[in-house]
């Protein structure tokens, strides 16, 4: 069952019933891949030029500068029951435009709503174009999940507000993560050498094209156990950058992400540990520090957390057996 990508989406006030879902889906929607490919090409919308005044000592000089764009993205979920199709707004997040569909898919993975590519029927922008853009994108994304995805709609009774700085504030808890369905982490992989970990920050920075122009974006990079970069995404929100990485891997059919290392450019928060666990990632490395709750969850789930990964050193906070030679 297909709909035009510019059709008006349902309002976000509540779950609303729609037309009867009498037409069975014969297969997963091939437009999902086309939409994601085009979505990734919207890089020109990620920065904005402004005029500012630069103060050097006592001298004031007017100059042009390039800033990272921040706009709201509404994520809507559609699913079918035996008689009707329903839809609800899950989250509004402040993000850098681009890779929006990947962001939405990664968010659904972290919430335990989908676990594989086969759980997604369709993902598309809907509603009017944002800020006059003519690339077919908007600030609303709708994901339609398959009837066999197995999620419980009762889990969607809350609305989430997600800011670019703190993620889904006040929502997460250890019990909620443990209750969500996810693949158990492999305690035997990945096995990573310290020299490989030392090299990751430089490889991450070298691939940050938008950060190089603006200095205003977080990054998340997924690496294999040899240190090869698999996926990198940038965003004003560090949690969004991780969702974009996970969403790209979902689209590629690569979940769970065993034998991988996720490096983030900021600190290792509870929410980032949650996202790594739900995606099946074995090692979460951060340029900054982890929080106490992040370490608690990581230890409970068997995730290796590395902090202060920079300048040729790092700290291993949990599950040191994945780091070769880390046993003191």
Q: Which residues are catalytic?
A: 166
3-state secondary structure the chain: CCCCCCCCCCCCCCCEEEEECCCCCCCCCCHHHHHHHHHHCCHHHHEEEEEEEEEECCEEEEEEEEEECCEEEEEEEEEECCCEEEEEEEEEEEECCCCHHHHHHHHHHHCCCCCCHHHEEEEEECCCEHHHCCCCCECEEEEEECHHHCCCHHHHCCCEEEECCCEECCCCCHHHHHHCCCCCCCCCCCCECHHHHHHHHHHHHHCCHHHHHHCCCEEEEEEECCCCEEEEEEECCHHHHHHHHHHHHHHCCCCCCCCEEEEECCCECHHHHHHHHHHCCCEEEECCCECHHHHHHHHHHCCEEEEEEECCEEEECCCHHHECCCCC
Rounded CA gap, 166 and 86, in Å? 29
Residue 164: both structure tokens together: 């670019």
CB of 250 closer than 8 Å to CB of 107: no
Rounded CA gap, 253 and 318, in Å? 28
Rounded CA gap, 57 and 60, in Å? 8
CA 179 to chain centre: 20
């Amino acid at each position: 069952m297909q709909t035009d990508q510019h059709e008006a989406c349902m309002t976000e006030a509540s779950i609303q019933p729609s037309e009867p879902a009498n037409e069975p889906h014969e297969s997963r929607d091939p437009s999902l891949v086309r939409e994601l490919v085009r979505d990734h090409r919207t890089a020109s919308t990620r920065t904005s030029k402004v005029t500012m005044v630069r103060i050097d000592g006592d001298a004031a000089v007017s100059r042009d500068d390039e800033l990272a764009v921040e706009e709201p993205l509404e994520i809507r979920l559609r699913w079918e029951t035996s008689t009707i199709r329903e839809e609800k707004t899950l989250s509004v997040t402040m993000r850098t435009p681009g890779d929006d569909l990947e962001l939405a898919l990664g968010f659904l993975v972290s919430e335990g709503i989908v676990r594989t590519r086969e759980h997604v029927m369709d993902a598309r922008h809907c509603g009017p174009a944002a800020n006059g853009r003519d690339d077919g994108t908007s600030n609303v994304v709708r994901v339609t999940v398959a009837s066999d995805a197995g999620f419980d709609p009762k889990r969607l009774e809350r609305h989430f507000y997600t800011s670019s700085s703190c993620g889904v504030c006040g929502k997460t808890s250890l019990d909620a993560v443990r209750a969500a369905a996810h693949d158990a982490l492999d305690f035997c992989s990945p096995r990573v050498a310290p020299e490989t970990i030392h090299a990751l920050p430089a490889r991450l920075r070298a691939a940050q094209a938008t950060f190089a122009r603006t200095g205003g974006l977080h990054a998340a990079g997924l690496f294999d156990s040899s240190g090869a970069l698999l996926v990198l995404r940038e965003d004003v929100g560090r949690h969004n950058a991780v969702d974009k990485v996970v969403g790209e891997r979902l689209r590629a059919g690569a979940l769970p992400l065993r034998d991988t290392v996720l490096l983030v450019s900021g600190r290792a928060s509870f929410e980032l540990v949650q996202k790594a666990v739900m995606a099946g990632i074995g090692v979460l490395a951060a340029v900054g520090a982890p929080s106490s709750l992040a370490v608690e969850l990581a230890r409970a789930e068997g995730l290796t957390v590395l902090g202060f990964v920079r300048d040729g050193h790092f700290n291993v906070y949990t599950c040191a057996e994945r780091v070769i030679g880390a046993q003191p």
